[in-house]
Every structure is written in structure tokens, then in C-alpha cells.
Amino acid sequence: MKKLFYISLFLCVSLAVTAQSYYYTGYVLDAKTKEPLQYANVWVPALQTGTVCGENGKFTLVSKHEIDSIRVSYMGYKSMFFRLQTNKKPTYCYIEKQDLKLNEIRIRLDENPAHRIVRLVNKHIKNNNPYYYPTYRLKQYSKTLFSSEIVNDSIARIVFLDSLGDNESKKELYETLQKQHFFLSESVIERNYKHPNKNNDILLASKISGFKDPFFQVIANQMQSFSFYDKNYTLLVGSFKNPIYDNRFTEYFFWIEDTSYVGKDTLFTISFSPRKGKEDNAITGYMIVDSEDWAIQNMVASPYFETPIFTFVIEQRYEKIDKKYWFPVYTFSKLNFQFGNNFIPITSYTSIQNKAIQVGIPQRNIQFVSDEIYTESAATYEKKSDSILAIYRDDPISKKDIHTYEFWDTIEKDADIDKGLFIIKTLLAGEIALKWINLKLEPMLKVSGQEVVRLGVGLETNDRLTEYFRMGGF
């Protein structure tokens, strides 16, 4: 009994120390078929925040305040409220389908009511797009990991284990993924901006499993739009037509899925999908619009095209800074790869958090020398990154993350990974690395002003000689 008492006391003290955060998980499912509803909207009215469900209908909420109830909504279903209990088993939210026949009749009689809201969003783009703000500065913490849904989602795990059989290689890989990720990368970037179109980004910290060179951080920085207000919205797999710029409604179909009220403001959940024949370079998803400033508060989108190999979804949340400026504060994306029944599905998770956001601060023109992200040497990042990342992580680094970095460190010693990366970098830049110099490919075959093809050679020193200056010619 005494031993049980001390264990109970220890647990109580531990809970009291960590009481700043409450964790909730649950699933949204069809009330009749019990099928999970991916991308269902989960809203916490008391805190004016929410999230969306993953592909298996799972949602996770983390809050500094206890959550009593949530409202769940989904396209074609009734909005319903559910009670939550913290630190308990997942909450299963079964929602019912809604008859939309009356709404279809309304569309024939009157204009689609979603069109008025989309027009207002379009009209207020300059007020809510960060690229129209005079200046801003922020610290951006990013984390990307490659793992699998079978270890991160309980339903996917059950399905996988049931189908495992005697496959020892899959079983071994599953056990490994419980201890570490396939790949892990973290970075902190200071972003500076001055209107119009002046950028100065500085890579403050970089940590990549298996690599010392921060090259991948530079590439990742260019693969996704900063906010949903970009006219051509860039995702990992390409550039897409942004639905909020379709104010003539020739490219996308819009629909009001849900309406909620917060004080004097109204929140509209509007779905969008490409019209027939307009599917190329299109996305599908929904956005939550705040009527106070006709600003986007939350957005979820996926490329419209489907492939048997991969699926992609992105979520972005906005908050009002200084009670004036709407700004993206959190972006989460998930890329699923499925190479067939004989392979374990691979998932890439990327989370981006914008912190210490300052808008309208003095920015000097002299600091905006180049749009390229400023980086330092790999040795510099190896020395300083751990301490900087510790400041910007929401939680201390996990054992799983540590094990991933340590595992790849041992691999790196046996195989010169950075040497291969060095060659990849120069080829992408149009160069071939030859020890301390790069052979420039472009001048070797050049068309002169008189349309005459001439041969030449270009040489330039590289970072292996020195990182502080370069010499070259052709």
C-alpha cells in the first residue's frame, strides 16, 4: 500500500508540473457506415481555434486550457457537438449525413451565396496578404520527418498488424520505426520583408539527419508558398491556381459548408473544387473566412489530381497580430507514398511555425542585398544549431528524434554522404565539381548574338578551396 501511495503521489506531482497542456485525440466517422471522414473540421468554440482530421479521421488537440466540447462539421454532414475528456481514450464522433436537396433548389433560384463571400475575400486581399504589409520580421521554426502512418495512427497500425502475417522484413522495419524516423530535419530561419518584394532570409540553425550541409534547407524554403494569398499557390508538387482569385467563378465551384458565430463576427466554412474541364493545376479543399476583415482564418487544400503512388494535404492557420495584421502562424503538410501492398507506406510530415512576428518595424534597404537565403558553413551550424533549436521547439527534443540523428551520424561516418551531396548541388547549379574548382557547363556550349554556336570553358573555385570568396572566368 505504501509503495502504491508513493507511486500515486509521484504521478500527481508530475501531472501538476505538466498541467500547462491538455491533450485530446479522437476520430470523426460516418454515423451509418462507421467510415472515417478525412479532413473533417473540428472546432473549439470556447477557444476560437480548431484543427482538421487526418486521412483516417483522426484529430489531435493540444491546449493550455481544458476543453469541454467541440463542434464537428464536414461537407454534406450535419454539424454536431461532442464532449471531450482529457488524457483518456480517444473520443469517437459519429456524425450524420445531411439532405442537401433544398439547397440545390436555392442555387437555381438565386446566386450561390458562397460567391459573395469569395468576392469579399478577393476584395480584401491587399489588407490581409502579408506581402502588402510595409515590413515584417519573424523567426520560422520548421521540422520535417519521414516515417509511416502505421506507427503514428492507431487505426492504420491495427490494419497493418492484422495483415502482417509472417513477413519478417516488414515486422523488423515496423519495430525500427517505433524507435526512430526514416529521416529528420529541423531549421530556424529569420525572415525579413519590406514592401514591395524585398526579402532577406537568414538560416540561423540547421540540423539534418545524415547531412551537415544545409543545402536541403535552402531547397525546402522554395517549395511552398508563404501564405494562401499567392496568386499561383506553390505546393511541393507544383504551382496551382488559387481559388480566391477566381472572382468570376469560371474555374472553381464554391459552397458554404458551415456557419458559426463568434461575438459580432461570423465564420464561414467554404469548400472549393475545380469545375468540370478545369481540373488542370487545380486544388480542392476548404477555407474558414472571418467576416470581420474577410480574412482567411484556416485553409486546408490538396492537389485535385489523384495518383496511386502519393497523396498530399496542407493546412494553414492564421492569427491576428497586434489586433491589425492577419498572419500565417502554423502550416502543416503531409505527403503519403504508397508503392504497393508489398511495401510499408511512407509519410512525410512537415510543420512550420512562425514565431516572434513583428509587423511594421523599421527595415533598412541596405540589408536587402539578395533574395537568396543567407547561409553559413556546415561547421558553424554544427556548433550552434542545437542551442538555437532548443529555444524555438515547443517541446524538448524527443528520444525518437535523438535516436534518428544518432543513427544517421553513424551512417555518415561510414559513407561520405556530404561528398555525394556536394556533387548533386553543383550539377543542379549547372556545374561539375573537380576537387577545388567547378567546371561551368553553360559556357561550354553557347549561342552568340549572331546565332552562332561556339565552344568555351568556364572555371570557378568552390567551397572546398575557401567559402569566403570565389575566383573564375571563361
Ranking 57-66, 345-354, 411-420 by mean pLDDT, the lowest is: 411-420
Better-scored residue on pLDDT, 337 or 114: 114
Q: Which three cell numbers stand for residue 128?
A: 490581409
Let me know: does 388 contact 189? Beta carbons within 8 Å.
Answer: no
* Residue 456, pLDDT above cutoff 50: no
Tens digits of residue pLDDT in 140-189:
999 999 988 777 666 666 666 666 667 677 777 778 888 899 899 999 99
Q: How far apart are CA 436 and CA 116, in angstroms?
A: 61
pLDDT for the residue numbered 171: 76
pLDDT for the residue numbered 372: 81
Share of the chain above pLDDT 70, in %: 72
pLDDT for the residue numbered 46: 72
Q: Which three cell numbers stand for residue 27?
A: 476520430
Average pLDDT over residues 125-129: 95
Q: How far apart are CA 289 and CA 256, in angstroms?
A: 10
Q: How far apart are CA 387 and CA 149, in angstroms?
A: 30
Ranking 67-76, 268-277, 392-401 by mean pLDDT, the lowest is: 67-76
pLDDT for the residue numbered 90: 85
Q: How far apart are CA 433 and CA 425, in angstroms?
A: 9
Q: Report how far apart, in Å, the C-alpha atoms of 236 and of each of 232, 282, 303, 333, 472 are.
A: 13, 14, 10, 9, 35
Tens digits of residue pLDDT in 311-360:
888 999 999 999 999 999 999 988 888 776 667 778 889 999 999 999 99
pLDDT for the residue numbered 290: 94
Average pLDDT over residues 90-113: 66
| SS3 of residue 271 by DSSP | strand
pLDDT for the residue numbered 155: 61
Domains of the chain, earliest start first: 20-95 (2.60.40.1120), 125-414 (no CATH), 429-473 (no CATH)
pLDDT for the residue numbered 393: 95
Cα-Cα-Cα-Cα torsion 239, 243, 244, 250, nearest 10 degrees, comes to 130
pLDDT for the residue numbered 340: 66
* Residue 386, pLDDT above cutoff 60: yes
pTM of the model: 0.69
pLDDT for the residue numbered 119: 95
Q: What are the DSSP E strand ranges found in 338-436?
A: 346-359, 431-434
Let me know: does 134 contact 360? Beta carbons within 8 Å.
Answer: yes
Considering 227-231, 345-349, 469-473, the range whose residues carry the highest mean pLDDT is 227-231
Q: How far apart are CA 328 and CA 229, in angstroms?
A: 10
Mean pLDDT of the chain: 78
Q: How confident is the model at residue 289 (pLDDT cuts 50, 70, 90)?
A: very high
Rg (CA), the chain: 25
Q: Which three cell numbers stand for residue 204?
A: 540561423
pLDDT for the residue numbered 352: 93
* Residue 221, pLDDT above cutoff 60: yes
Nearest to 26 by CA among 99, 107, 81, 96: 81
Determine whether 371 is exposed, middle or buried from the number of CB atoms within 10 Å of its CB (0-12, 13-18, 19+).
Answer: exposed
pLDDT for the residue numbered 10: 40
Tens digits of residue pLDDT in 244-286:
999 889 999 999 988 888 778 889 999 999 999 999 999 999 9
Q: How far apart are CA 422 and CA 293, in angstroms?
A: 48
Q: How far apart are CA 129 and CA 225, in angstroms?
A: 12
* Residue 447, pLDDT above cutoff 70: no
